[in-house]
Amino acid sequence: MNLLNKFKKLSQLKRNVFSGTFLAGIHIILLFIAYPIYIKYLGIERYGLWAVISVVLSFSQMGDLGINEAIIKYTAEEYGKKNFQEIGSYIVTASLILIIPSLLIIIILTIFNENILDLLKLSTSIRQEVKYIIPFFGILTSLIFYSNIIWGALKGIGRVDLANYIFAIVQLLQVIISIILIILGLGIWGLLLGNFVLYIFLFILCFLILKKVFKLTIFKVSYFDIRKIKKLIKFGGTIFGSKLIAIVLDPFNRIIITRFIGLSAVAYYDISLKVVKNLRSLFQMGLYATMPKVSELSSGNIGRNFGISNIHKKGIKFVLFFALPLFVLMFLVGKPVLNLWLGDSYNFNILVSLRVFLVAYFVNLLSVPAYYLFMGLGKVRVCFYNIMIQSLINIVFIGFIVIFIKNINLIEVVLICSSSLIISAIYVLIKFRIFEKSLFKGK
């Protein structure tokens, strides 16, 4: 009871940060439970196959044009001014904008299904297994677009905590459904259907909370405002550019590994990367809650500069005090943890990749408070250049090895990817230092 009372006394921002860490923790727990089951019933190669073809889903999500992040920013600004009708207007306008890319993605994935499979150079038997799955990614992508609009609006009104707890619930449901379907023999189709369950329930729950609890009128067509299209696309366009570059990065690495090393290596890459990304997300998702708060602060003037600077300092302390010990611990105990978790599926390449990624993602995590601060203020060019630096370094160096040396191994891919993460993080930290100096000079 005392713990509950202490939680109730926390500021909304602290609750939001805590909820992000909680959601990431739930994701890690589900990861450790689900992966051994996935690998047991699918086999390491078929799980590697899912990791490769899910690249298509990553590519297709570029079609949201950065609208999701724009919704969070502008909803936060209007909520700070208590303009509730304007929030509904942004939601309706964003929803209508995304109709065209949603339809285009479904059509493109249906028409070019065979070409996508050709690119992956899959064996005949595996190709037959996934032949009809690609078009369904188009429908799933559209569902993700609209779920993210409603989910983003809930975050924008300052209730990142509610948004994260809802996602934790539906993610648990997704894993349960996926495991049941895989055990029943549906193979990777079970993973696809689990994703459909996740985003259908995410949309329904967030919609009901916005409508019933916060009394927001959401899908009222008369709220459409053509003037907001420009604002949403201007902000979202830079985010879209960042996603467009970033989205090439991971799929590029997976395709290179598939073609030049093998499906098993894709699985090793995917496992090590997901472990570290989920560890990082324990803190990144908490820090994400600062973005709508910064947007809300930017809509006023009183204490704006000191409030923004204070949020960044607390973010850095959060990373150093809580993330650093956990990253160091995982680096030291990675081998026994992986052995216990994966059993016979353990491979030394997973451990080496894990340790390299741990170093890179921690350094990158130090830049996250500044990254979300820039995003909340609408200075998204810094975010764009951050992703561009990371992607260019990764693609140019791996491409050079593949083209001129004509031979590459998994650890080389991991080292290049990690180096790009560190260099891009240094860029953001330098830009923030310059920005902070100008902040208190009144520039």
In tens, the pLDDT along 261-313 reads 887 888 889 889 988 988 888 888 778 778 777 777 766 554 456 677 788 88
| Mean pLDDT within 396-421 | 90
| Mean pLDDT within 224-230 | 81
| Mean pLDDT within 36-63 | 75
Average pLDDT, the chain: 82
| Mean pLDDT within 149-154 | 88
Residue 443 reports pLDDT greater than 50? no
Q: Give the pLDDT band (50/70/90) at residue 243.
A: low
CA 49 from chain center: how many Å? 21
For position 1, what pLDDT does the model report? 47
Q: What is the pLDDT of residues 310-328, one digit of tens each?
A: 888 888 998 999 899 999 9
Q: What is the pLDDT of residues 79-125, one digit of tens each?
A: 777 778 888 888 888 888 888 888 888 888 888 877 877 776 666 77
Residue 419 reports pLDDT greater than 90? yes
**Range among 45-54, 258-267, 416-425 rated most confident:** 416-425
**Contact predicate 325/372, CB 8 Å:** no
| Mean pLDDT within 410-416 | 92
Token pair listed for 224: 């459409």
Percent of the chain with pLDDT over 90: 21
Q: Give the pLDDT band (50/70/90) at residue 40.
A: confident
Q: What is the pLDDT of residues 163-183, one digit of tens each?
A: 889 999 999 999 999 999 999
d(CA 281, CA 370): 16
Name the nearest CA neighbour of 409 among 420, 421, 419, 401: 401
Q: How many C-alpha atoms does 293 have within 13 Å on its Cβ side?
A: 26
96-121: b (≥16 Cβ within 10 Å) or e? ebbeebbeebbebbeeebeebbeebe
**Contact predicate 361/276, CB 8 Å:** yes
Q: What angle do CA 287, 248, 383 make, to 5 degrees?
A: 35
d(CA 157, CA 58): 27
Residue 10 reports pLDDT greater than 70? no
Residue 332 reports pLDDT greater than 90? yes
What are φ and ψ of residue 66, in 5° steps?
75, 10
Q: Give the pLDDT band (50/70/90) at residue 342.
A: confident
Q: What is the pLDDT of residues 194-208, one digit of tens each?
A: 989 999 999 999 999
The 3-class secondary structure across the chain, one letter per residue, is CHHHHHHHHCCHHHHHHHHHHHHHHHHHHHHHHHHHHHHHHHCHHHHHHHHHHHHHHHHHHHHHCCHHHHHHHHHHHHHHCCCHHHHHHHHHHHHHHCHHHHHHHHHHHHHCHHHHHHHHCCCHHHHHHHCCCHHHHHHHHHHHHHHHHHHHHHHHCCCHHHHHHHHHHHHHHHHHHHHHHHHCCCCHHHHHHHHHHHHHHHHHHHHHHHHHHCCCCCCCHHHCCHHHHHHHHHHHHHHHHHHHHHHHHHHHHHHHHHHHCCHHHHHHHHHHHHHHHHHHHHHHHHHHCHHHHHHHHHCCCCCHHHHHHHHHHHHHHHHHHHHHHHHHHHHHHHHHHHHHHHHHHCCHHHHHHHHHHHHHHHHHHCCHHHHHHHHHCCCHHHHHHHHHHHHHHHHHHHHHHHHHHCCCCHHHHHHHHHHHHHHHHHHHHHHHHHHHHHHCCCC
Whole-model pTM above 0.85?
no
Residues 6+ apart with CB under 8 A from 413: 253, 256, 257, 269, 398
Of 19-33, 150-164, 285-299, the least confident:
285-299
Residue 3 reports pLDDT greater than 50? no
Of 26-30, 241-245, 369-373, the least confident:
241-245
For position 288, what pLDDT does the model report? 79
Given CA atoms 406, 409, 410, 416 in this order, what sign does their dihedral have?
negative
Decide: residue 36, CB within 10 A, 0-12 exposed, 13-18 middle, 19+ buried.
middle
For position 303, what pLDDT does the model report? 47
CA 66 from chain center: how many Å? 13
For position 176, what pLDDT does the model report? 92
Percent of the chain with pLDDT over 70: 90
For position 281, what pLDDT does the model report? 83
Residues 6+ apart with CB under 8 A from 82: none
